[in-house]
Amino acid sequence: MSLYHPRREDLEIGTVLQALSDPHRLRAVRRLADADEPCACGSFEIDVAKSTLTHHFRVLREAGVIRQELVGTSKLNSLRREDLDGRFPGLLDAVLAASGTPAVSA
């Protein structure tokens, strides 16, 4: 079984922004941005049902934000930083910086 990943040149800004607009997905992306190596889905401390988390990772993968690799029965996730930076310079850094800036009223 192989997982679909869009090619770098096919990444679309609207789809990427949509993928990043969900707070749980953004939290997962922040976690991956801080990680030194690919992370198993189960290692994310995100308080949603497992099926919901699976959905979020699929949205991120299909948008081209992350890469998912099947290793045994696990999926290992990593951020497609080079592809994102190459295609949309500055976007990921701006989003990661912004996501550390909660609204005052939040």
**Closer to a second copy by Cβ: residue 33 or 76:** 33
**Closer to a second copy by Cβ: residue 12 or 69:** 12
Helix, strand, or coil (residue 37): coil
Find the Cα–Cα–Cα–Cα dihedral 33, 35, 41, 45, rounded to 10°. -90
How many binding residues for a second copy (CB under 8 A)? 30
For the window 2-41, what string marks contact with a second copy as x by the rule CB under 8 A?
-------xxxxxxx-xx-xxxx--x---------------
List Cβ neighbours of 96 (8 Å cut-off, separation of 6 or more).
29, 30, 33
Among 49, 72, 82, 104, binds a second copy (CB under 8 A): 104
What CA–CA distances, in Å, run from 27 to 12, 22, 43, 99, 100?
21, 9, 13, 8, 10
- Residue 24 identity: H
For the window 47-86, what string marks contact with a second copy as x by the rule CB under 8 A?
----------------------------------------
Here the tokens at position 33 are 């941005």
Point out which residues bind a second copy (CB under 8 A): 9-15, 17-18, 20-23, 26, 87-91, 93-95, 97-99, 101, 103-106
